[in-house]
Amino acid sequence: MLNEDNAEKPVKLIERKLAYKGKVITVYDDYVDVGGHKTHWDFIHHMGAAAVLPVLPDGRILMVRQYRHALGRYTLELPAGKRDSEDESFEVCAMRELEEETGYKTDHLDFLLYVNTTIAFLDEKIGIYVADNLQKGQVHWDTDEELGVEPWELDDLKKLIYEGKMTDGKTVAAIMTYAAKYHK
């Protein structure tokens, strides 16, 4: 509950300066007035992404294993990727990423949740879907991707989360939400 001492203060963007533009993110220096106090914040813009939790007919979940440079290791995570444009729907992106990364496609996605990955300085929003009724398609890995596709039991994925071995935020959120929603 808010009181006068911790009430929401008005926040006003004074100036935004481009610091860096990459192929995935754009970094800005934001100068902000927070209730009369001028400060500097870093802000990273990302056009958004989609992820898919693909469920095989036997109930196993298809996961991708790939190298993540920022962590310096391979990770096990859901198939996912960034939207091609600000106008691309999360669902269209999810359909594309499912086939590109796993070699499977579907004619039906069920919306699961949205996740904002790092709200302190990044506006990335990921739309996450469940895909079933999978049919064989064709992988289309990007030239800088080399993925392993692995089927996993839900309970084994949850165990990895509980042991701290799976830490990718979108994947953890999706698996736990899927388990709560579909496996009560």
Residues noted as catalytic: 145
Cα-based angle 151, 161, 78 (whole degrees, multiple of 5): 40
Distance CA 31, CA 43 (A): 10
Which pair of structure tokens corresponds to residue 146? 């080399």
Distance CA 100, CA 49 (A): 14
Q: Report which of 101, 22, 16, 89 is spatially closest to residue 50, judged by C-alpha positions.
A: 89
Q: 68: helix, coil or strand?
A: strand
Q: Report which of 67, 49, 11 is spatially closest to residue 126, judged by C-alpha positions.
A: 49
Which pair of structure tokens corresponds to residue 73? 């290791």
Contact 27, 16 (CB under 8 A): no
Which pair of structure tokens corresponds to residue 18? 């481009």
What does residue 181 show for φ and ψ, rounded to 5 degrees? Answer: -80, -40
Distance CA 94, CA 135 (A): 15
